[in-house]
């Protein structure tokens, strides 16, 4: 398929700064299927020592080894020390969105680290439900105020990316930015289907630039610098689990029925969070691409080298050693996806988002099927990459919609149907 978006256009679509765009643009990119070199994925049912996995117990014993390998070579080691928090509900509106929702805003303070600003949760719960609502959990790119035109949402006060300028600056939120990304967040649709929505601005956990760690959670929880030091993807994944910690205390939602959703780089973080935290009931990765659902050994679109050139703060330093040799990685992304098993997994891509390699994402999802089969769970149940707007699969599901790198109502319609069938 022809690539219709340039790298610069994709960065603009993501609404985030081009950290090292000039360097990345010099790295070769392949969009020709006939030029994809042969590669062999690590067998998802074979351990590093060569043992063949044939049952669930063996797989579950193998999970720690995979998590260790992803920690040491891709995302970095997560902190293990418990963190004390204090929850403060800053506002409640029992009749938000014209009486359709209860809106809560909760600040999560890290009590041992008063220098850190709080992580602010925006929570919408459908009005009039008699049972605890299942909840979609996600992070947003532009502040909670960008999710809806609801005037009661507090404006973000932390670092925000300057749209389109390609600069790392402290862009303050204004009223003009309220609801600027509401097309990605069809809150009324989500509520009407009986789901709550919890979101956090990802910059509350760590601002998305190379120096962002200095004012984020990694400034206090990072271990000594080393090849396996965790990056921003890990920090955002850590923040998703802290969101779930709060939801477990809120009687208006069912924290056992949480659907973790992430788009683009937050999709990468959602997959890592879902692999690590078994409390999430299902995981959805929307156009997560390289370092997410797309297999790394397949040379198509964005590569490990592109990631590390543009966003050196996302992954652990060891990941850079695979820039020109992804075949040397001891793992590949299908094994990350397999760590979600047996929980429901949805991988999605877009026709015009060739940068994120739709076929590579499909293949990543497809390669998890042997693990799901250990649990008697049906997978994609097709062999070939499907046509646009033709979702496939059951417990593992995939679609490629028409359009560009984005989150659309079409995507949400599929995710709500998926949650109805697999979680609700």
Could you tell me which residues are beta bridge partners of residue 263? 286
For 297-357, give the DSSP string.
Answer: TS-SSS-HHHHHHH-TTSS-GGGGGGTT-GGG-S--HHHHHHTTTTS-EEEEEETT-GGG-
Cβ-count burial of 95 within 10 angstroms (0-12 exposed, 13-18 middle, 19+ buried)?
exposed
Does the annotation mark 405 as catalytic?
A: yes
Whether 265 has a pLDDT exceeding 80, the answer reads yes
Residue 181: phi and psi, rounded to 5, are: -120, 25
**Exposed/middle/buried for 314, CB within 10 Å: 0-12, 13-18, 19+?**
buried
Residue 107 CA to residue 120 CA, distance in Å, equals 4
Q: pLDDT, tens digit, for every residue of 294-331?
A: 999 999 999 999 999 999 999 999 999 999 999 999 99
Task: Find out whether 146 and 177 touch, Cβ atoms under 8 Å.
Answer: yes
Topology given in CATH for the domain delimited by 67-422: Rossmann fold (3.40.50)
pTM above 0.75, yes or no: yes
The torsion angles phi and psi of 259, rounded to 5 degrees, stand at -110, 110
Hey, where are the domains in the chain?
67-422
pLDDT at residue number 77? 96
Q: Which of 146, 229, 264, 288 is catalytic?
A: 264
pLDDT digits (tens, 9 = 90+) for 350-404: 999 999 999 999 999 999 999 999 999 999 999 999 999 999 999 999 999 999 9
Radius of gyration over alpha carbons of the chain, in Å?
A: 20
CA atoms within 13 A on the CB side of 95: 2
Distance CA 148, CA 158 (A): 18
- In angstroms, the first-to-last Cα distance of the chain is 37
Mean pLDDT of 106-127: 97
Residue 224 pLDDT greater than 80, yes or no: no
How many CB atoms are located within 10 Å of the residue 91 CB? 13
For 182-211, what is the mean pLDDT? 97
């Amino acid at each position: 398929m022809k690539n219709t978006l340039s790298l610069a256009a994709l960065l603009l679509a993501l609404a985030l700064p081009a950290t090292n765009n000039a360097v990345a643009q010099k790295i070769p990119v392949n969009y020709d299927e006939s030029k994809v070199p042969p590669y062999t994925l690590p067998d998802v049912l074979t351990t590093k020592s060569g043992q063949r996995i044939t049952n669930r117990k063996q797989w579950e014993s193998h999970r720690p080894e995979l998590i260790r390998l992803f920690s040491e070579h891709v995302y970095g080691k997560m902190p293990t020390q418990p963190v004390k928090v204090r929850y403060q509900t800053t506002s409640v509106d029992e009749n938000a969105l014209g009486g359709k929702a209860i809106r809560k805003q909760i600040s999560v303070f890290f009590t041992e680290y008063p220098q850190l600003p709080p992580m602010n949760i925006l929570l919408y719960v459908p009005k009039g439900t008699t049972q605890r609502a299942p909840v979609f959990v996600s992070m947003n790119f532009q502040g909670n105020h960008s999710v809806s035109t609801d005037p009661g949402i507090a404006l973000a006060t932390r670092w925000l990316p300057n749209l389109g300028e390609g600069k790392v600056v402290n862009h303050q939120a204004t009223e003009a930015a309220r609801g600027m990304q509401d097309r990605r967040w069809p809150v009324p649709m989500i509520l009407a289907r009986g789901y709550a929505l919890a979101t956090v601005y990802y910059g509350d956990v760590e601002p998305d630039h190379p120096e962002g760690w200095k004012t984020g959670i990694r400034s206090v929880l990072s271990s000594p610098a080393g090849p396996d030091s965790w990056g921003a993807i890990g920090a955002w994944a850590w923040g998703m689990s802290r969101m779930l910690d709060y939801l477990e205390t809120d009687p208006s939602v069912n924290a056992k029925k949480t659907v973790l959703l992430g788009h683009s780089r937050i999709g990468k973080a959602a997959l890592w969070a879902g692999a690590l935290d078994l409390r999430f009931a299902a995981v959805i990765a929307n156009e997560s691409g390289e370092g997410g659902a797309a297999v790394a050994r397949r040379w198509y679109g964005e590569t490990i080298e592109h990631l590390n050139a543009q966003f050196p703060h996302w992954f652990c330093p060891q990941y850079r050693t695979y820039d020109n040799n992804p075949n040397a990685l001891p793992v590949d992304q299908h094994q990350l996806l397999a760590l979600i098993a047996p929980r429901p997994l949805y991988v999605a891509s877009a026709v015009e988002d060739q940068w994120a390699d739709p076929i590579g994402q499909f293949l990543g999802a497809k390669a998890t099927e042997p693990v799901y089969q250990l649990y008697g769970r049906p997978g994609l149940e097709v062999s070939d990459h499907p046509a646009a707007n033709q979702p496939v699969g059951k417990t593992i599901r995939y679609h490629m919609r028409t359009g560009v790198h984005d989150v659309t109502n079409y995507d949400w319609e599929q995710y709500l149907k998926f949650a109805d069938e697999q979680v609700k």
